[in-house]
Amino acid sequence: MDQELLIIDLLSAKKLIYEQAKKNRNKNLLTAFVFLILTTVVFFGIGTFVYQHLQIRVHSIDSGYWLRGIYHFSFVLGSFSTAIITVFFLVILFHGVRFRHNFQHVLERMVQKASLYPVIYQDKDAYYLAEKNGRSKIQLVKADCIELTTTFDGAVIYMGIRQLGFGFVAMQVFVLTAEPAQLPTPFPKQQLLNSNWLLVLLAVVFVSASGVFIHDDGLKRHRNLYGTTNQNTSTTTSTSQQTTTSAHLLEQHGTAPTTKTDQTSQLKLNQQTNELYMTTDSGSSWRFIPLKPDWLRTGSYTLTAGEIPIGYWMDKSYEVSAEFSWFIYSDDDKNLYFLTSKDDGKTWEKALVSDSAQRIRYRKAQFFADGSGILVYSTMSPEVSSEGLEIYQTNDYGKTWTRRNGTTIDQAVQNVSFVNPALGFVSTRGKLYYTNNSGSSFKEAVVTIPAEYATGGLDLFQSPNEITQVSTNQLETKFYLVKTSGIDQGKMFACLYQSSDNGETWQFSEQLSQVENSD
């Protein structure tokens, strides 16, 4: 049929074409919006939630790189998909505007597309538009087809709904000059189905290949950072029968305190009887702790600022709460134990952490929501200024402990802070080190100091400050810096620092408050 005559005939059905175009446009916009929401939820919402949930359970650098690689790839894929959907959304709106302002041009395009498929088949439910060779290309459901007009020679012009895939549709004009022949074979339908599955298969292959690339890249980064040889790390886990016991604990002889406290949970030393007591209800009741105070102060009970006075305790060397109380101690300066109570101090159990904890100084434990935890302690050497650092891990709230690694820090340990069982930080007075493999190796972090500040040999990162994860890729902490100019010259300030690369580099964010120099 002559294309110019077909365009003239279609002009008489302008209203019907407008109405169908509007329906298609609204459907496509809704589909694009749904895809945009799903993409955002899956790649940015669920992907971030799963990443954060799994991150605290990663215990090796390979798994860590694999997890971060998948997350970053998911983020990139989500961004790419969102961009494509947004562009498609805008294209739909643009076509709507062009349809209203250039209807003649739209009809020309529709007629050109119709001329590509001169052969038409049918079955009970659909028409099939085919090329001259008879191979079916487009399936149009009969229920969706509408009659636009009839030409002067009796041909009927129809408009069908062409499925573009993934819920998107387009209009397709075709002309019936006679009753279409029956579809000879079901092959075209299978071909259409196979084409869609081919796209899915290609997507799966693409994602899988990208995942393999990410994994291999992670292994290369692992070798570049830490070498190809494994460190000789002794891993010993004592059996529950050997480690967890309530034997050899003290019995109460003195009278419990009766004083009220401002804090809900507090540890108190009765200096007359040399007994320890704890409260978890602001002093309304007190529970006896079956330890000697000297056992908590085993080794050298000092920080880099000096010795801790009697009656004061090293931060995070114990914790008091109704749900879970614990203490790090040694009764012989050799065997290090972990004492726990889960019933507000009514009953206690102790677990052996190490049987070779001589000359310890710094000690600290941290626990996470799933019951896993990290315990670290430093060991002094009288000949050198460096300290050994021992790292132990538990997955059962301290009932059993496994040695993860031992390393040497070139200066006295100032503070240790773990974000999760894999990612942790160790500071000295002027340096910050990080590990992302549970302490198997450490690298020095880069801390950017503004020109008007200096570390000055002071405490860069000290207790009770912790490094916290405020978002998926954002860490925060407080560093203590000395002002080198202005009216506050010589004063020390707590400064907020942030890291967006898992602690490898730290950038100054803002000055917070002045702190007293404890040196």
Mean pLDDT of 16-21: 89
How far is residue 253's CA from residue 410's CA, in Å, rounded to a whole number? 45
Q: Write down the pLDDT at residue 463.
A: 57
pLDDT band with cut points at 50, 70 and 90 for residue 414:
confident
pLDDT of residue 120 exceeding 80, the answer is yes
**Element housing 406 (H / E):** strand 402-409
Buried b (16+ CB within 10 A) or exposed e, 282-313: ebeebbbbbbebebbbbbebebbeeeeeeeeb
Comparing 134-143, 242-251, 490-499, 503-512, the range with the smallest average pLDDT is 242-251
- At residue 1, the pLDDT reads 59
> At 185, is the pLDDT very low, low, confident or very high (cuts 50, 70, 90)?
low
Q: Give the distance between the most distant pair of CA atoms in the chain.
A: 116
CA–CA separation, 161 and 139 (whole Å): 9
Q: Convert the pLDDT of each residue in 145-171 to its tens digit.
A: 999 998 888 889 999 999 888 888 899
Six token digits for residue 397: 């709230």
Residue 154 tokens read as 């009796």
Delimit the domains of the chain by residue range: 3-206, 233-413, 423-519
For helices 103-115 and 61-101, angle between their N-to-C axes, nearest 10 degrees: 110
CA angle 175, 178, 181 (to 5 degrees): 100
Q: Please tell me which residue, 101 or 235, carries the higher pLDDT value.
A: 101
Convert the pLDDT of each residue in 43-83 to its tens digit: 888 777 776 666 555 444 445 556 667 777 777 888 888 88
* Whole-number pLDDT of residue 93: 87
Nearest to 110 by CA among 170, 169, 27: 170
Least confident of 2-11, 291-300, 450-459: 450-459
Residue 124 CA neighbour count, 13 Å, CB half:
1
DSSP annotation string for 234-275: ---B--HHHH-B-TT-----SPPP----SSSSEEEEETTTTE
Which pLDDT belongs to residue 492?
86
Q: Closest Cα to residue 250, out of 339, 359, 175, 356?
A: 339
Q: 24, 171 in Cβ contact below 8 A?
A: yes
Question: Using 50, 70 and 90 to split pLDDT, how confident is the model at 172?
Answer: very high
- 494 sits in the region (left: phi over 0; alpha: psi -120 to 50; else beta) called beta
| Predicted confidence (pLDDT) at residue 329 exceeds the cutoff of 90 | yes
pLDDT tens track for 222-262: 443 333 333 333 333 433 333 445 557 888 888 888 899 99
Q: What pLDDT does residue 517 have?
A: 61
Half-sphere exposure (CA, 13 Å, Cβ side) for 153? 9
pLDDT at 242: 38
Percent of the chain with pLDDT over 90: 22
Which among 53, 49, 74, 54 is positioned nearest to 64, based on CA atoms? 54
Token reading at 407: 């390393």
What is residue 255's predicted lDDT score, i.e. its pLDDT? 85
Closest CA to 218 of 362, 417, 71: 71
